[in-house]
Chain A
């Protein structure tokens, strides 16, 4: 139960077109931190792993070729630098969004889905936000909802792109503890990109530094 890469792909970085070569493995339940200079392709890598980049990116997730899976079967959750909540939906509808597509949740009744959403919101003390419009949320609240959205359908792989940057110190500690508990409980391979070393502390199992764009990355 792990995430394995032996992949190389041509990607478009701010500096131009580059070869992205990645090799290695993230074990089930392992949290890997990735650091590197700005523009080296960290965010681009996450997009490719989530299969929402410019080109297909070959990898194996829990012994299955990801490219062979339909989008709703992949269950790779990516949390972007910005919360990217859907502005036409309420907080609850945003959280229901992945469950509409991903099995087994897509076959659940609306009540069961809502109960699951309520449970997740309560764990982070966010239950009062459930009926709010997302455009009324603060940056920190939006980011926490984005993290709940990523976890509500229990992903097979979790990718976090500077996901803690918008949080204050107190929220950050709470969210990190909650997230880590769930990652370990469900044995989710996780990759966290962070600029600040503090975001990696007390969270990751190991860290990798990617020194420059174009250089092969080994996990």
Chain B
């Protein structure tokens, strides 16, 4: 009786929270439609606008496709390489590289933005704006995507991948034949799942295109929407852009769900244990080395470009007081985003499989919808808002943007968790709530750790939503953008140092806290 009551109450909680998340996505959209239909602004769907839109659409699809291919391709190639190694080799070196690689991977977007901004003008002249954007976004997304693929691959190796490879070799397959006949098809299935989501994520990407495009001539529909919003607040244009984004989002979601259903029917291979242990470190060495190398290039590149300013920091004493304010704003923003993301993940882990699936679909569309609809919502709302409210709304938007990957990961990890464990725990007298806290959450801890560190760092470097919502209390990344544009590189260098330190500390903080809480 009690368990029935528990399951009914959790069903209501699930439904309630699902409605809240749906409302967060849909309500701004409704404001949008109402304003377009009944707003007082006149329509101005000119041929120039449609020309820009057509260009933005093709560019958006192109850069998303290039990013997805590059990201997945990179992860794929490195994965093939690392699977050729045998375990047991060079473990100490692997441990060192793992520590270094992970530390550097938490490099916040600020550093990358500073690096890119420092060289973007000259690079744009050499290679052209679109090539620059595609290359920069492909690099950035590959760091992000490859880390997800890598984590799953590592867990797969730990679960049974290494033994499958041994099995194929003991049956006469050479290393190359094993890669071709076993690893390649397995990875291909994984790639088919990830590709639409990466495409969706890249299509909705804002910061790279916004920073490097330098105007509506070189933008995606998402960024064009922003310019339309900022320049003339023309609802008809916004609606056209929004419907375009929505159509693409839904089409991709459909593709994604088709892939997902084919995989869930029993063909999913890399659905693996999230508790990747350390015993296959040597196998993952090349991937970590690659991350380390890429991260190092970014850090050293940024550091070299700002060497003079970093030296000036050492000579010049403390930074301007406005930077401390920016740091406070950044940390509050990042902490709020992390807290909301944690809440979303806790709920995702707790929800039933159906709710989790519904949530992951809803969240999968959010990268395309949210920046546009939320920013419009901001402009539709009162111009004078309390800072806390602005920050909360902004943080909610960013959390919803970042959580889809986590939701997918949690879904996969729980699907691969041995269901007999929960049955055993129930037979031992544990309630659903106890199973959740003492079994599921410790099992999912590695996922939570990675995602929280990631969203914290993303929030430290985020400028798109912040530039709309937090103009009164700009976080460091936004301040860095303004300072770089006004050639105040010394202050920008301070920001680089502060955000980098904050990102490194966040890694230690989240790991320590989660290991203490999820025991």
Q: Residues of A with Cβ closer than 8 Å to B?
A: 12, 47, 50-54, 70-72, 74-78, 80, 82, 84, 86-88, 97-98, 100-102, 133, 135-136, 149-150, 153
Which residues of B have CB within 8 Å of A133?
266-267
B269 to chain A minimum Cβ distance, whole angstroms, is 5
Measured between alpha carbons, how far is A75 from B42 in the docked complex, in Å?
A: 78
A71 touches B173 (CB 8 A): yes
Which residues of B have CB within 8 Å of A52?
166, 169-170
Which residues of A have CB within 8 Å of B87?
54
A17 to chain B minimum Cβ distance, whole angstroms, is 9
B residues 52-102 near A (Cβ < 8 Å) are 86-89
- Pairs A-B, 10 closest by C-beta atoms: A101-B172, A98-B171, A78-B170, A52-B166, A54-B88, A72-B172, A102-B172, A84-B167, A135-B266, A12-B88
Closest to B185 in A: A88
B267 touches A70 (CB 8 A): no
B166 touches A47 (CB 8 A): yes
Measured between alpha carbons, how far is A50 from B172 in the docked complex, in Å?
A: 10
Which residues of A have CB within 8 Å of B358?
none
Does B20 reach chain A (CB closer than 8 Å)? no
Closest to B269 in A: A87
A77 touches B170 (CB 8 A): yes
A9 to chain B minimum Cβ distance, whole angstroms, is 12
Does B304 reach chain A (CB closer than 8 Å)? no
Q: Which of B87, B170, B266 has the largest count of A CB atoms less than 10 A from its CB? A: B170
B170 touches A50 (CB 8 A): yes
Measured between alpha carbons, how far is A149 from B170 in the docked complex, in Å?
A: 11
Per DSSP, chain B at the interface is: helix
Which residues of B have CB within 8 Å of A135?
266-267
B171 touches A136 (CB 8 A): no
B165 to chain A minimum Cβ distance, whole angstroms, is 8
Measured between alpha carbons, how far is A47 from B169 in the docked complex, in Å?
A: 11
B163 touches A72 (CB 8 A): no
Does B164 reach chain A (CB closer than 8 Å)? yes
20 residue pairs from A and B, CB less than 8 Å apart: A12-B88, A47-B166, A50-B169, A50-B170, A51-B170, A54-B87, A71-B174, A71-B177, A72-B173, A72-B174, A78-B167, A82-B160, A84-B164, A86-B167, A97-B173, A98-B171, A102-B172, A136-B266, A149-B171, A150-B171
A76 touches B170 (CB 8 A): yes
A88 touches B269 (CB 8 A): yes
Measured between alpha carbons, how far is A135 from B270 in the docked complex, in Å?
A: 13
Does B294 reach chain A (CB closer than 8 Å)? no
Does B103 reach chain A (CB closer than 8 Å)? no
Measured between alpha carbons, how far is A72 from B176 in the docked complex, in Å?
A: 12
Does B255 reach chain A (CB closer than 8 Å)? no
A24 to chain B minimum Cβ distance, whole angstroms, is 21
- Which of A12, A50, A70, A86 sits near B174, CB closer than 8 Å? A70
B170 touches A88 (CB 8 A): no
Measured between alpha carbons, how far is A47 from B186 in the docked complex, in Å?
A: 23
Given contacts A52-B170, A71-B177, A86-B181, 12 further A-B contacts (CB under 8 A): A12-B88, A52-B169, A71-B174, A74-B172, A77-B170, A77-B171, A88-B267, A98-B171, A101-B177, A133-B266, A135-B266, A153-B171
Measured between alpha carbons, how far is A97 from B170 in the docked complex, in Å?
A: 11
- Which of A71, A87, A150 sits near B169, CB closer than 8 Å? A71
Number of residue pairs A-B, CB distance < 8 angstroms: 81
> Knowing A52-B166, A88-B185 touch, does A98 contact B172 (C-beta < 8 A)?
yes
Measured between alpha carbons, how far is A101 from B170 in the docked complex, in Å?
A: 11
B residues 141-164 near A (Cβ < 8 Å) are 160, 163-164
- Which of B168, B177, B266 sits near A86, CB closer than 8 Å? B168
Measured between alpha carbons, how far is A100 from B173 in the docked complex, in Å?
A: 8
Which residues of B have CB within 8 Å of A77?
170-171
Which residues of B have CB within 8 Å of A70?
174
Which residues of B have CB within 8 Å of A76?
170
Measured between alpha carbons, how far is A86 from B174 in the docked complex, in Å?
A: 16
Measured between alpha carbons, how far is A133 from B163 in the docked complex, in Å?
A: 19
Closest to A71 in B: B174
Does B189 reach chain A (CB closer than 8 Å)? yes
Q: Which of A72, A149, A153 has the largest count of B CB atoms less than 10 A from its CB? A: A72
Which residues of B have CB within 8 Å of A153?
171-172
A101 touches B166 (CB 8 A): no
A100 touches B86 (CB 8 A): no
Measured between alpha carbons, how far is A54 from B282 in the docked complex, in Å?
A: 11
Measured between alpha carbons, how far is A151 from B171 in the docked complex, in Å?
A: 10
- Which of B86, B88, B167, B186 sits near A88, CB closer than 8 Å? B186
B residues 108-145 near A (Cβ < 8 Å) are none
Closest to B173 in A: A101
A179 to chain B minimum Cβ distance, whole angstroms, is 17
Does B182 reach chain A (CB closer than 8 Å)? yes
Measured between alpha carbons, how far is A78 from B213 in the docked complex, in Å?
A: 57
Which residues of B have CB within 8 Å of A150?
171
Which residues of A have CB within 8 Å of B166?
47, 50, 52, 78, 80
A197 to chain B minimum Cβ distance, whole angstroms, is 26
B152 to chain A minimum Cβ distance, whole angstroms, is 15
A84 touches B163 (CB 8 A): yes
Measured between alpha carbons, how far is A4 from B169 in the docked complex, in Å?
A: 21
Measured between alpha carbons, how far is A115 from B5 in the docked complex, in Å?
A: 58
Closest to A134 in B: B266
Closest to A152 in B: B171
B residues 416-433 near A (Cβ < 8 Å) are none
A94 to chain B minimum Cβ distance, whole angstroms, is 10
> Knowing A82-B163, A84-B160, A136-B266 touch, does A54 contact B86 (C-beta < 8 A)?
yes
Which residues of B have CB within 8 Å of A102?
171-172
Closest to B175 in A: A71
Closest to B182 in A: A86
A146 to chain B minimum Cβ distance, whole angstroms, is 8
Which residues of B have CB within 8 Å of A98?
171-172
A19 to chain B minimum Cβ distance, whole angstroms, is 15
Scoring B residues 254 to 288 as 1 if CB is less than 8 Å from chain A, else 0, what string do you get?
00000000000011010000000000000000000
